[in-house]
Chain A
Amino acid sequence: MTMKQLSVFVENKPGTLAEITGVLGENQIDMRALSVADTERYGILRLIVDKPQEAEAALKAAGFKVSLTDVIGIAVQNQPGGLSQALKYVAQVGIAVEYMYAFVSQKRDTAYVILRVQDNEKAIAALKEGGIPIICEKEV
């Protein structure tokens, strides 16, 4: 049970992020979470949106390098140590986290975290066994 994440290659020049978010707005696509990895030369914008396939098509048409990546969404308790416990379950089965980012949910006591790992199935199994709820796109 993975989620689709939209990844967009962002060249380092003024206005690129405004252009990308503009395309999404024009196409009535709602962003739920985002993170940016930045390097000296470029950035990678990662987005969780309500309509990933439509967003991908719209951005491609606008000339952006986009791809959809399967990522894992988990719900963690919004309290100290909540995330650490979940990550331990993943580490115990020898899986490294490539990157992750968090966002708040409507429910005040829960935070959502997106995890990108090499082996989704194995990580999901470990998380489930530890009782960590896996979320799907509709829930966010």
Chain B
Amino acid sequence: MERYWNPVETAPLHEMRALQSLRLSRTVRHVYEHIPFYRKKFDEMGLKPEDIQSIDDIVKLPFTYKQDLRDNYPYGLFAVPVEDLVRIHASSGTTGKQTVVGYTANDIKIWGNCCGRALTAAGGDASDFVHVSYGYGLFTGGLGLHAGAEEIHATVIPVSSGNTKRQIQIFKDFGSTILCCTPSYALFLGESLRDMGVDLSEISLKAGIFGAEPWSDEMRRKIEGLLGIKAYDIYGLSEVMGPGVAFECSEQTGMHINEDHFYPEIIDPDTGEVLPEGEVGELVFTCITKEALPLIRYRTRDIASLSREKCSCGRTLIKMKKPSGRTDDMLIIRGVNVFPSQVEAVLLELGDTAPHYMLVVDRVDNLDTLEIQVEMKEDMEFDAVRLIEETEAKIKAAVASTLGISAKITLLPPKSIARSEGKAVRVIDKRKI
């Protein structure tokens, strides 16, 4: 018998639409009254909050872009006074500035509820030990699933990321039953388990919830085999909330979107026109219950499609296909969002190298690797190995502190990176996902 955490997950479509209509009109009034950015935009378009009565009116609303968050850094798009905020999260931005998001107590409660739905769909309940190996901190992964586990009264083991041996010891000693981390780390844990000679009978894992980076069905089967679990996908982005915007059920054919909180649309990224159900385009979300940061028609840059086909799990929440790509050049490396322009900014700021670089992304032993190849300046002194190594180490440290990711730095002679006539090719992604 399928269990649901919230009755809304099986609500009939007309009820869901009525709820969405009510929440959208309320949100539109809220942003008009409290966020000058939206008020100005609405006024310029001659749009009044009362023009938005039904969820169908959403097409009248303007889009919100990542650039808008950057332009209003850090708190310019927040709709509540600081007294009402209880938490800040952030993700690395495109030009050094981070994307800052805020939450009220109620936002956190809803976030926990959404992640609770995901954990329930993965078979979790109060008897489970939820092992969270997502990073805790400004990244939303750790604390998001943490809130979900508490919501369903499971016992959280907040391990955070890293130290694989300790993670496996905790599996064995603490009896972890549900693992939450990035899929590549799950695979790494599974292979480490095997390499350390740990038999699956020594651990109690039964399910895993994996997200924050792209993965394939082939990877899923491998993870399931190595860890002896059923693996579930989860989707989210900090601008909208964090993990738990959408989650997978036992059918494993797409993720149910928590559309009572996040209204999804698929649009043509070039024209902005809404595409019919089933078509592939850019995923756009409107936060219809968020208090602190209720973004309107936020362009995720993720390419996906939506489907209202009946799901065998009984949930009526609309489903999205796993994103198949991006409309921008963002890379997801070990769960960290990386834009080539961020790397460029670091290189230019240091000024030790020429502005010609190439990012080589690969997956070695199931972990993503990033190599930054960059050309030396014509006048750089390089006659001793030390001089080259010092420059590489300096770039490595700057990349680690700015992007939060470890990269291998390779200095190359001038003019050795191919110049392109059109759009510069900055990335070679060798990962076969």
Contacts and interface: CB of A to CB of B under 8 A. Distances in A.
B231 to A, nearest CB: 37
B386 interface: yes
Nearest to B392: A41
B385 A37 contact: yes
B384 A37 contact: yes
12 contacts: A5-B383, A11-B412, A37-B385, A44-B382, A44-B385, A44-B388, A46-B383, A65-B378, A65-B413, A67-B382, A69-B383, A99-B384
Contacts of B378: 65
B414 interface: yes
B381 A44 contact: no
A77 B380 CA distance: 36
A11 to B, nearest CB: 7
B382 A65 contact: yes
A11 B384 contact: no
Given A37-B384, A98-B384, A116-B383, 7 more contacts: A9-B376, A9-B413, A11-B412, A41-B410, A65-B378, A65-B414, A67-B380
B385 A11 contact: no
B376 A65 contact: yes
B416 interface: yes
Contacts of B413: 9, 11, 64-65
Say what secondary structure dominates the interface of chain A.
Answer: strand
Nearest to A68: B383
A39 interface: yes
B48 interface: no
A37 B379 CA distance: 20
Interface residues of A, number: 18
B415 interface: yes
A72 to B, nearest CB: 14
A99 B384 CA distance: 8
Contacts, number: 39
Nearest to A7: B383
Interface in B350-400: 376, 378-386, 388
Contact of B415 (A11, A37, A41, A63): A63
Interface string A59-75: 00001110101000000
B176 to A, nearest CB: 39
A71 to B, nearest CB: 9
Nearest to B376: A65
- 9 closest pairs, A vs B, by CB? A65-B413, A7-B383, A69-B383, A9-B413, A98-B384, A37-B385, A65-B414, A39-B385, A9-B382
Nearest to A41: B410
B135 to A, nearest CB: 31
Contact of B381 (A11, A39, A41, A69): A69
Given A9-B376, A64-B413, A65-B376, A98 B386 contact: yes
A41 B384 CA distance: 14
B376 A116 contact: no
B416 A11 contact: yes
Interface in A1-51: 5, 7, 9, 11, 37, 39, 41-42, 44, 46
A134 B380 CA distance: 27
